[in-house]
Amino acid sequence: MEYKDYYKVLGVDRNAAEDQIKRNYRKLALEYHPDRNPGNKASEEKFKEINEAYQVLSDPEKKARYDQLGASYKNYTQRGGTPGNFNWEDWFVQNPRGGNVRVEVGDIGNIFGNENLGDFSDFFRSIFGGMAGMGSASRASRSPYAQTTQSPKTFQQNVPISLTEAYNGTTRRIDIDGNQKEVIIPPGANSGTKVRVSNAISTAPNQPKSDLFLRIQVADDPRFQRKKDNLYTNLDIDLFTAVLGGEVKVPTLSGNVVLSIPSGTQPGQTFRLAGRGMPKLKETNKFGDLMVKVNVKIPRHLTNKQKQMFLELKQMQK
């Protein structure tokens, strides 16, 4: 197994202060973030490596363990030892500790919410996987030492909710090994959001319990289209309101609001209602926006008097 030099990954000295580690991490994460490098696999791998390094060096407990391993590994190589013969087994975490139900966006460890970018290396899973707060050790390891770590499996179950439930937050009662457990689904959950129930399922006697991941599936809503934290909707207004202006009611997930339509509004014009979108996951005091696209309804049937008035308006345009 390859030794990971996390200090080198973040470009900091081994005695670097916490704020320096954080600054370097943020700089590198922004530089290699997949959104800035679409389709670039090398940047994606680098981003995962940067994230993994920060997960260790920003956590005092993991950093202390890593520094101990680093000192041992350095002494071993200085004595002429080769990496393939280093006794990694002394450093494997074999007793994962559980925790309470927690929310995870996308895959584990992904701070940006982009699924499949949070995968940790075999080195990380073997050395740190079972430490408090890290669920990644429960995944099936690709390392040749997987049997030594005895990591439990994980289980996944899809949970459908409505857009309104995603807006307000909701709960689900699930049956785990014959016991009913209420799990909180927080406001702002999106399709792919995972709620982790740690140490929930017993698979074999005298073996660590397995984690259960509830994968949220938010159903489509006929009133709104969701793009991340923003909502989009269409609103029909009559021709006279478009021409003269006026006030109309707009449905939102928190109730109707009044939108002022200015005179001369054009078909397809879009209005932004700030803060009327979805709550941001883990930041439920912040909201996205509601984008309202106006459809102007042209009257199909006019009275003779109405036709005459439109003719007069047409003549006035000449």
Set out the domains of the chain in order of their start, with CATH numbers. 225-316 (2.60.260.20)
Q: What is residue 161's predicted lDDT score, i.e. its pLDDT?
A: 92
Is the confidence at residue 84, as pLDDT, over 70?
Answer: no
pLDDT in tens, 112-129: 333 333 457 777 777 765
CA distance 52 to 242: 54
Average pLDDT for 43-60 = 88
Tell which residue, 288, 284, 286, has the closest CA to residue 276: 288
Average pLDDT for 188-205 = 80
Mention every residue, 6+ apart, whose C-beta is less than 8 A from residue 129.
93, 96, 120, 136, 137, 138, 141, 149, 151
27 C-beta neighbours (distance < 10 Å), count: 13
Bigger pLDDT: 293 vs 14: 293
- Half-sphere CA count of 89, side-chain side, radius 13 A: 8
Task: Say if strands 230-238 and 290-297 run parallel, antiparallel, or are unpaired.
Answer: parallel
Q: How far is CA 147 from the centre of its chain?
A: 31
Predicted TM-score (pTM) of this structure: 0.52
Q: What is residue 155's predicted lDDT score, i.e. its pLDDT?
A: 74
Longest distance between any two alpha carbons in the chain, whole Å: 102
CA distance 95 to 101: 19
Bridge partners, residue 102, by sequence: 196
pLDDT in tens, 221-249: 999 999 999 999 999 999 999 999 999 99
